Amino acid sequence: MGIEDRKQREREGMQELILDAAKTLFVERGFEATSMRAIAEKIEYSPATIYLYYKDKNALIQDLHSEGFMRMNRDMGVLQLVRDPLERLIAMGRAYVQFSLENPDYYELMFIMHKPMQGLEKPEEWKMGALTFESLIEVVKECQALGRFVGKEPLQLSFLIWSCVHGICALKCCRRIEIIQTIPHEVLIKDALDYFSDFLTRL
Amino acid sequence: MGIEDRKQREREGMQELILDAAKTLFVERGFEATSMRAIAEKIEYSPATIYLYYKDKNALIQDLHSEGFMRMNRDMGVLQLVRDPLERLIAMGRAYVQFSLENPDYYELMFIMHKPMQGLEKPEEWKMGALTFESLIEVVKECQALGRFVGKEPLQLSFLIWSCVHGICALKCCRRIEIIQTIPHEVLIKDALDYFSDFLTRL
DNA sequence: CAATTTACTGAACACTGTTCATACATTTGT
DNA sequence: ACAAATGTATGAACAGTGTTCAGTAAATTG
């Protein structure tokens, strides 16, 4: 029946309408600062209507959470074409940081905020993140197969590498980088990434 | 006049009473989850009374923010006694992570939450953090004086080192470490720190 | 002892996320 | 074509939040 299909489409259209409005406001005014009423006003519906399409505010956040991971995976997908594992590893690190700089709001959602985590026991959505991490482990293993990172556990090493790039992103994102005022932050981050790459190469 | 002194003491006593209650509740129930009314109830005063001693909820947070830095500085102060710069650097990294594990609530306040940052343009309070970072730069320079980290800018390198340990703490604190379920987190963090130390030693 | 300053509070304001009975529109069965 | 049943949207309300302020009670002063 085409009528059920139409209903389904309408439903998804409404969800997208809500999510887009929410996204815009979240980016504009931050997170806690955007109310359900504000979202409702933007799409010209009653606040109660939103609850017909999303269980609560957290559901909205979780949807954006997954969308963030899809974007990141899309952005980093092309890197699988890089043949040399070490080069790929370094490129992944740079792409990761770049993503966080270009989409700080998504990044915060994905890796910093507490909200999207709680009540998300199921790794169903979160699985996308685990997948990205596993591709990191894979590339580390490939590097090891070529004689690098000898005597290191790939999992632990991958975690350290992740920590390193995440640390850069998080300090920037949470504005703690601002205690450093002697040089521009872009330079700081660029240099840190260069050193990071240099270290990986030398190990 | 002793009477003015007493008033001053009473005032500070009240501030401490409020701050202690706030601290307890923050740790117990998280941050956004503790209301001014809850704090007031705990100290058996009216909510309005709190506003006679703290401008608003942010002021409370900022006070805890500085207290966190004082604790951290105290904890890490003894490390200045470590003679060898590299050993000191590594010990500082370990102490940093340990602090974050023992005081996740303070850590979140100091390095993750957005709230204590906004409206805190003055580095008066934030200066304590900058001081800790500068002692990191110093120890890096000392290492360089002994022939390590050749050709690296101390500031940028220090930032990378900070990023690395902060990354570990932040992933743990924000529960993103939980995507890794194959080995216990303590082991993961311990190993990552060992690798981190190993890398610093080999550079 | 009266006047003044200080410490405190109850009630209110403008918000927040969320729920639910009610009203409207649409689809269905006859 | 009309009535019944389903689905969709909403206004009003609830319980909660941070915060303010007029008014009260206590302590300090003259």
Nearest neighbour of B188 by CB, restricted to A126, A133, A159: A159
pTM: 0.93
Q: Which residues contact A64 (CB under 8 A, 6 or more apart)?
A: A19, A22, A23, A26, A106, A109, A116
> B54 CA, D26 C1': separation in Å?
22
> Using one digit for the tens of pLDDT, what is the confidence trace for A188-202?
999 999 999 999 999
What residues approach strand C to within 7 A at the CB?
A 1, 3, 6, 34-38, 47-48, 51, 56-58; B 7, 10-11, 14, 45-49, 52
User: Using an 8 Å Cβ cutoff, are A90 and A197 in contact?
Assistant: yes
Task: Determine if strand D comes within 7 Å of the CB of B38.
Answer: yes
Q: What is the mean pLDDT of each run of 10 residues along chain B (203 residues)?
A: 78 96 92 94 97 96 92 94 97 98 94 80 74 96 97 97 98 95 97 97 90
User: Using an 8 Å Cβ cutoff, are B167 and A162 in contact?
Assistant: yes
Nearest C-alpha neighbor of B154 from the set A191, A81, A198: A191
Residues of B in contact with A97 (CB under 8 A): none
Residue A161 identity (one-letter amino acid): I
> Using one digit for the tens of pLDDT, what is the confidence trace for A34-63?
999 999 999 999 999 999 999 999 999 999
Work out the burial of residue B74: count CB atoms within 10 Å of its CB; fewer than 13 is exposed, 13-18 middle, 19 or more buried: exposed
> Using one digit for the tens of pLDDT, what is the confidence trace for A126-159?
788 899 999 999 999 999 999 999 999 999 999 9
Nearest C-alpha neighbor of A76 from the set A84, A126, A68: A68
With b for 16 or more beta-carbon neighbours within 10 A and e for fewer, the B146-174 pattern comes to eebbeebbbbbbbbbbbbbbbbbbbbbbb
Task: Kindly report the number of other CB atoms within 10 A of residue A63's CB atom.
Answer: 19
Strand nucleotide closest to residue B49 (CA to C1'): C8
Whole-angstrom Cα distance, residue A179 to residue B127? 8
**Is A32 in the B-facing interface, judged by CB distances under 8 Å?**
yes
Which of the pair, A117 or A74, is modelled with greater confidence? A74
Two tokens, residue A153: 């556990």
Looking at residue A123, its pLDDT comes to 61
Phi, psi (rounded to 5 degrees) for A152: -110, 140
Mutation choice for B interface testing from A161, A164, A188 by most B CBs within 10 A: A164
Task: Kindly report the number of other CB atoms within 10 A of residue B98's CB atom.
Answer: 15
Task: Determine if strand D comes within 7 Å of the CB of B59.
Answer: no
Please answer yes or no on whether A133 and B179 come within 8 Å at the CB atom: yes
Nearest neighbour of A195 by CB, restricted to B30, B160, B177: B160
> Using one digit for the tens of pLDDT, what is the confidence trace for A75-127?
999 999 999 999 999 999 999 999 999 999 999 999 999 877 776 666 666 78
Whole-angstrom Cα distance, residue A130 to residue A125? 10
Average pLDDT over residues A13-41: 94
Task: Determine if strand D comes within 7 Å of the CB of B115.
Answer: no
CA distances, B39 to each of A33, B31, B43, B46, B57 (Å): 23, 12, 7, 9, 11
Mutation choice for B interface testing from A152, A179, A181, A202 by most B CBs within 10 A: A179
Looking at residue A121, its pLDDT comes to 63
Looking at residue A120, its pLDDT comes to 61
- Tracing tokens 């500082």 back to the chain, one arrives at B92
Nearest C-alpha neighbor of B57 from the set B7, B103, B107, B109: B109
3-state SS track over B167-189: HHHHHHHCCHHHHCCCCCHHHHH
> B42 CA, D20 C1': separation in Å?
22
Whole-angstrom Cα distance, residue A102 to residue A98? 6
> A51 CA, D25 C1': separation in Å?
48
Q: Which residues contact A67 (CB under 8 A, 6 or more apart)?
A: A19, A106
- Tracing tokens 């997954």 back to the chain, one arrives at A66
Whole-angstrom Cα distance, residue B172 to residue A119? 18
Task: Kindly report the number of other CB atoms within 10 A of residue A96's CB atom.
Answer: 24
Looking at residue B114, its pLDDT comes to 87
Positive/negative CA dihedral, B34, B40, B43, B44: negative
